[in-house]
Chain A
Amino acid sequence: MIDMHDLKATLDDRAGRAPDPDEVLAGAMTLVDRRRKRRTAIGAAAAAVMTSGALITGVAVLRGDLRDGGYVSPAGPPGPAQPTTSRPWLPFSVGWMPQGYQLVRWHTGPRGAGLEYGAGPGSAGISARLDNVDKSVGEPVTPNGEQVPVDINGASGTLIRDTEFHRVAIYWQWAPGQRAVVYGKNPVAENTLLAVARSLTRQQSKPAGPTPVVTVPAAYPHVEVWSNGELDGGAQVSLCDHPMFDPNTQPSNSICVYVTVGGGPPPSRVLAHTPEVPEQWLTEETTHAGIPMRTTKERYGVLRVLDPGHWVTVALVGKRGMIDTTLPFGRAVLLDLAASVKIG
């Protein structure tokens, strides 16, 4: 049994990890500005279209483009898969990191790629990432602070010094449409951060530790990978029919498959990704490609035990209506995916 005191202490402890209010406010105002710009763009384009006498069609197209982030939705349900194998990699390498820093998490996907290192819970942290700036939702990492020009191996960069919250960020153009950001907190010395920034190279790298390797169905070609560095800490691959570069413009008819691998006891349910299905218990035994698996009753989700210490779940994510439309062929996709997962 738990004492009420323990519960309150746990909640207090979680609250102690709250984000910085100034950072949150700055982020919110960035969202506000973006919405304003979008409204202005819609208004201007609508006026232009009205002039041309094609109001209805023009505005419909424009709104569709904005909502879908400029991507065209598939004409129909996904067709037969022409699978390819996805092995996570990062499009850059970090050549140097101060002693004592361990990889905490990494990600790679259409929005960019990044690595995060930490010197221990609540201690200094350094992250290095590449943002696809024309696609990323990420804005300047520390909006408030003194800006100083710096040289990064011949490229002009900017160092932002946020003395109030002991943060430093360095960013520079990595390639056309791509920005490199190196960020330090709690605190990290500027010279240390500059040395990390200057050590970045264009050599591809495979993240440390085991990584999930999946066979990507042709219907869900947009792949994003998040990992806590070690397999036992968990990793997730999302495979989507639309690219997920901007949550504000994510089309509502998108559907994804989340492949989650982890260590320890296998879960008894997969997460419900739609409000109409509160939870999905893995109750049904089945075999696919000779591999024993467990599925939810409606087969929204699949569990496969990879080895005695590791497991993978595969689940459809999207609105209930889209899932129902997808299920007739989606079930086979889920089972194929679960069967294809390997630890690379």
Chain B
Amino acid sequence: MDVEFEQFARQRLPGLVRFAAALTGDRELAQDLVQDALAKAHRRWSVVRAADHPDLYLRRMVVNGYLSWRRRWYQRTVEPASDSGVLDRGRVDDPAGRVADADQIATLLTKLTKPQRVAIVLRFFEERTDEEIAEVLGCAPATVRSHVHRGLRALRVRADAQTAREVAP
């Protein structure tokens, strides 16, 4: 079983760690989340192997860990302000309406609720469909659209017309 599981994990890990890093903005936390998800996947190997979408199943495990309050117990670093989660510095206003740089976007990402952040990353980094995101978040596709819409609004993203229509709740 271990050999089969390791083959499975090696195939999926590059994408999974990139997803976790994009979601958290923190290498160590991403590693922590993916390690835990893999250990759980190993324990439930028969279920994971039989899943219709094992990739989504793994992402759901990572997301569940990310949403879990218990993660706080052993979040080991005080993260930089750009994507803290711990060091929340309040809203950074951009009154001039200038194009934000990456740091500003990273700061704005911290203002989203975690489900909004998950939805944004799955949609715009992994280009997942509403149905796939719903499977990961364990909610209805309409809720996903709402998360994405509100998330983009909070990020003050100038979505093009097509995107705006797609994500409108």
Contact = CB atoms under 8 A, between A and B. Distances in A.
B47 to A, nearest CB: 16
B18 interface: yes
A27 B88 CA distance: 29
A1 B96 CA distance: 9
A27 B80 CA distance: 24
Which of A25, A226, A254 lies at the interface centre, i.e. has the most chain B CB atoms within 10 A of its CB? A25
Interface residues of A, number: 63
Interface stretch (A86-94, A151-159, A261-269, A285-293): A261-269
B124 to A, nearest CB: 6
B81 A234 contact: yes
Contact of B160 (A4, A9, A254, A278): A4
Nearest to B43: A35
Contacts of B23: 14
B125 A12 contact: yes
B166 to A, nearest CB: 12
A317 B90 CA distance: 19
Interface in A187-225: none
Interface in B24-42: 24-28, 30-31, 34-36, 38-39, 42
Given A234-B81, A260-B78, 15 more contacts: A1-B157, A2-B156, A4-B124, A6-B102, A6-B105, A7-B105, A13-B102, A14-B106, A18-B27, A24-B17, A25-B38, A31-B35, A236-B78, A260-B86, A262-B81
Chain A interface helix/strand/loop/mixed: mixed
Contact of B27 (A17, A256, A262, A264): A17
Interface string A268-282: 111101110011000
B76 interface: yes
6 contacts: A2-B105, A14-B21, A14-B22, A17-B21, A25-B6, A264-B89
A48 interface: no
B163 interface: yes
A322 B64 CA distance: 21
Interface in A220-268: 226-228, 233-236, 244, 247, 250, 252, 254, 256, 258, 260, 262, 264-268
A84 to B, nearest CB: 23
Contacts of B69: 273-275, 319
Interface stretch (B8-16, B130-138, B139-147): B8-16
B12 to A, nearest CB: 9
Contacts of A247: 70, 73-74
Chain B interface helix/strand/loop/mixed: helix
A61 B31 CA distance: 33
B114 to A, nearest CB: 9
Given A1-B156, A6-B105, A8-B125, A227 B78 contact: yes
A10 interface: yes
Contacts of B156: 1-2
A50 interface: no
B31 A267 contact: no
B72 interface: yes
B20 A18 contact: yes
Query: 4 smallest A-B Cβ distances: which pairs?
Result: A28-B38, A247-B74, A21-B13, A18-B21
B99 A6 contact: yes
A9 B102 contact: yes
A304 interface: no
Contacts of A3: 99, 157-158
A25 B10 contact: yes
B121 interface: yes
Contact of B67 (A2, A4, A236, A275): A275
Given A3-B157, A25-B13, A268-B91, A11 B121 contact: yes
Contacts of B99: 1-3, 6
Contacts of A279: 113
B48 interface: no
Nearest to B160: A4
Given A1-B157, A24-B13, A15 B18 contact: yes
Nearest to A13: B102
A23 interface: yes
Contacts of A20: 17
Contacts of B163: 4
A21 B43 contact: no
B51 interface: no
A107 interface: yes
B97 interface: yes
Contacts of A13: 102
Nearest to A245: B74
Contacts of B6: 25, 29
